Amino acid sequence: MSRASQLERIIAKGQLVALQFMQSDVAASQTNAALTVAEVRDTAATTDDQNAVDSYVIPWDFEIIGVSARSSAARAAGTATVEPLVNATATGLTAALDGTTTQSTRSTQNRGADTGVAGDRVACRITTDGTWAPVTADIVVTVWVLVHIEGV
């Protein structure tokens, strides 16, 4: 009998899911502005229609366990903070682009801190201070959700 040479980290009856949100040209002085669900753009399109969908409906019970953000350009000034929401209620889990984390940031939390049930919505919002720059930077945010798929 051979022994496994690598340790496998398995989360029983669950699946880690990455929910993508975005905003183009992140403006200064935003307060709790809804980010939209990330989309694939049609490069041949003649207009730049912004997706208006701002949340995902999760068909199973779940837990939010992390959030990460990446800007297309390094922060030059100010702070941008992102926060996931469950059914429009803030979770308290935040990640910030600031003087320390200028282009990429992340934050995690223990399981059980922010949970939802089947049919709940997950969204994300952004807050920027009045000095946030560059306002031509785009941002993509990933909300990391552990979905419980018992009974599937």
Using CB atoms within 10 A of its CB, is residue 37 exposed (0-12), middle (13-18) or buried (19+)?
middle
The residues pairing with 35 across neighbouring beta strands, listed in sequence order, are: none
Q: Which domains does the chain have, with CATH numbers?
A: 15-38+54-148 (2.60.120)
In this prediction the pTM is: 0.85
Radius of gyration of the chain (CA): 17
152 pLDDT tier (thresholds 50, 70, 90): low
pLDDT for 1: 45
Contact 120, 64 (CB under 8 A): no
Q: Rounded distance, CA 110 to CA 117, Å?
A: 18
Q: Rounded distance, CA 105 to CA 79, Å?
A: 12
Q: What is the pLDDT of residues 23-80, one digit of tens each?
A: 999 999 999 999 999 875 555 555 555 667 899 999 999 999 999 999 999 999 999 9
